[in-house]
Structure 1
Amino acid sequence: MRDAAIRIDGLHKAYRGSKGQPEKHALKGIDLTVPRGSVFGLLGPNGAGKSTLINILAGLVVKSSGNVSIWGFDQDKDPRQSRAAIGVMPQELNLDPFFTPRGALEVQAGLYGVPKSERRSDEILELVGLSDKAEAYARTLSGGMRRRLLLAKALVHHPKVLVLDEPTAGVDIELRQMLWTNVRKLNEQGMTIILTTHYLEEAQEMCDEIAIINHGEKIAQDSTANLLSRMDSRTMVIAPDSPVSNLPVTEGVEAALQDDGNLILRYRSTQTSAEQVLESVRQVGIRIRDVRTAEADLEDVFLALTSARADDLPTDDQTKPRRGMHRVKL
């Protein structure tokens, strides 16, 4: 596919078992297409196979079977071109402590065969906010600065595809904002971004399309909007003017009273409107002092998919919000 940045067909990876144990199948026939120019989310719980998949794309792990194409280059037929088309920002801080940031970029560019006339180390250092640390030893950099250097190293050979593996794990708000600003800028310039993260609100905000894998299998792939539309749960929290003695009874609405006296109403927007919910509250004589609502987000979809199989996603009659008004980082 000409419009595919990455195309994966039937990708398997099995690791040999130790001490008589059976093989461990990390990937079980993954089919995946990443559109060019997209910000693509690759999500899954720990042990789902994300790292194995990324390492295969980077050429660090040999697949057991299947086909991988990166920017139109088959990984088996054109290994050098396929590796040159992708840059990976790893999760681990694997930096040589005795190199300066500028020196590290120059060495990385040399390893990729980038001619000196085409190297842009200073431009990349400015992009990631390390210009003033260009000649400082890597061992003197803070953790956040080291992460910026990892991003810089992934960009030295002008890759068409950039993989960010848990880029914001353990970083402060300032670095996170800087990273996403740079990611948007690179994407606007035509670079395809693949993001793995456990911060699902980031994936929901940043990604055009998302694939979710679990136990080595792809269980869902769709646009972010379509994934969110799978669950149209709503939760309405009403703070009454006086203690509630009677709960509203309306078809399609689940009512409950919290210890703090607030009334919780759960419903589905495709079946019941917010006005109907409020009317049911008024009918039992409850006067509303305050009201707020929340809708299902990517975390709800993720938990529903990874706690069951994709085709077992709750139906319209079964789906309920899994939490109250809080957002929990996995």
Structure 2
Amino acid sequence: MDAAIEVNDLQKTYRGRRTGEVRAVDGVSFRVEAGEFFGILGPNGAGKTTTLEIVEGLRRPDGGEVRLLGQSPWPHSPALSQRMGVQLQASSFFEFLTVREQIETFAELYGASRARAAEMLEQVGLSDKARTRCQKLSGGQQQRLSIACALVGDPELVFLDEPTAALDPQARRNLWDLMRSINDEGRTVVLTTHYMEEAEALCDRVAIMDAGRILAVDSPAELIRGLDAPTRVTVAAGQLSEERAKELAEGETAASDDEAVVFETRDPQRLLTALAAEGALDGLAVRTANLEDVFLNVTGREWRE
């Protein structure tokens, strides 16, 4: 496959009177294939947004190289911009324009038709808000309008910076469907998000960043497999004595309290068979490792600013 994005040894340093020198991006390298859904994950201050803004051509790097659809995004290239759709973390609209006027303005900038603008409003569920001024939209509605504006030019490559932040669960899942459809149409999608479930559900591969560096890159499934974490099996209390629980654990972890018995095992099939034989399946819950476990293992658990 051809690469939609190639990033090699990207560097960006900020200097402030109080903070001193901060390396926001410190030797970042990755590749995104054409048609791939690629996620960039990391705690606050990891360098995700700065990296994305450099790749999009919104910031000039201090060092390294970026190739976007075979071209350098810096200095600004109008021809390249026509092939990209960018939804920023914080979007600013013309407050006194209506939703329809806003997206039609973007459509004109990209050379798209008004029919295309109306189609995008329908796709993000904002047709009924077409005559509403942008300043009257809720935060979630503004996010959806921002995505519609990014897509109205029918781009090959789409950047989404935390598109589902502050959305309720229903709106978030609806946007997942929209993002999947964008990718299914053959577009390359690059996503930053703090929602590990979202990245696990949508992304072909993810890069985990911290302190300006990429610490891991792979598919969510491979990263989870590489964690080699035990399966956690929980049953309601009162079905097994503490002694019997330890016997069933066969040397693995078994802990109990007034509410539940919790096993940690690397052989869940054996344990579940044994629990079924004991008739101890009431309140059964089985939890395997997920992308959040990988994320915490890679980046740590300390509080961030």
TM superposition score normalised by structure 1: 0.82
Larger mean CA deviation between 70-79 and 93-102 belongs to: 70-79
Residue identity in the other structure for 1:71: L
Distance 1:111 1:239, change over 3 A: same
CA distance in 1, matches of 2:130, 2:8: 42
The correspondence of residues 196-275 of structure 1 with structure 2, limited to 5 A, is 196-232=192-228, 233-239=230-236, 241-242=238-239, 244-246=241-243, 247-249=245-247, 250=249, 253-260=252-259, 262-268=260-266, 272-275=267-270
Q: Any idea what SS the aligned residue of 1:59 has? A: coil
Unaligned runs of 5+ in 2: none
Q: Deviation at 1:243? A: 5.7
Residue identity in the other structure for 1:156: V
TM superposition score normalised by structure 2: 0.88
Q: Is the 8 A contact 2:87 2:163 kept in 1?
A: yes
Q: Deviation at 1:139? A: 1.8
CA distance in 1, matches of 2:71, 2:239: 68
CA distance in 2, matches of 1:47, 1:237: 36
Residue identity in the other structure for 1:304: N
Distance 1:252 1:28, change over 3 A: farther
The correspondence of residues 1-330 of structure 1 with structure 2, limited to 5 A, is 3-18=2-17, 22-76=20-74, 79-112=77-110, 114=111, 120-232=116-228, 233-239=230-236, 241-242=238-239, 244-246=241-243, 247-249=245-247, 250=249, 253-260=252-259, 262-268=260-266, 272-276=267-271, 279=274, 288-290=280-282, 291-307=284-300
CA distance in 2, matches of 1:277, 1:253: 14
Distance 1:80 1:216, change over 3 A: same
Q: Is the 8 A contact 1:161 1:193 kept in 2?
A: yes
Q: Deviation at 1:178? A: 2.3
Q: Deviation at 1:156? A: 2.5
Distance 1:117 1:168, change over 3 A: closer
Count of residue pairs the alignment pairs up? 297
Distance 1:295 1:82, change over 3 A: same
Residue identity in the other structure for 2:59: V
CA distance in 2, matches of 1:34, 1:242: 51
Q: Is the 8 A contact 2:237 2:256 kept in 1?
A: no
The structure in which a higher percent of residues are helix is: 2
Q: Deviation at 1:110? A: 3.6
Q: Deviation at 1:251? A: 5.5
CA distance in 2, matches of 1:69, 1:78: 13
Q: Deviation at 1:277? A: 6.7
Distance 1:22 1:289, change over 3 A: closer
Q: Deviation at 1:182? A: 1.4
Q: Is the 8 A contact 1:67 1:75 kept in 2?
A: no
Q: Is the 8 A contact 1:241 1:288 kept in 2?
A: no
Distance 1:252 1:3, change over 3 A: farther
Q: Any idea what SS the aligned residue of 2:285 has? A: strand
Q: Is the 8 A contact 1:154 1:162 kept in 2?
A: yes
Q: Percent of aligned positions with the same letter in both sequences?
A: 38
CA distance in 1, matches of 2:227, 2:251: 15
Q: Is the 8 A contact 2:5 2:32 kept in 1?
A: yes
Deviations 1:231-266 (A, max 9, x none): 342011123554624142555611111232x22111
CA distance in 1, matches of 2:237, 2:135: 58
Q: What is the Cα-based RMSD across aligned positions, in Å? A: 2.5
Question: For residue 311 of structure 1, what is the aligned residue in structure 2?
Answer: none
Residue identity in the other structure for 2:14: Y
Q: Deviation at 1:3? A: 1.6
Q: Is the 8 A contact 1:100 1:138 kept in 2?
A: yes
Distance 1:163 1:181, change over 3 A: same
CA distance in 1, matches of 2:27, 2:146: 31
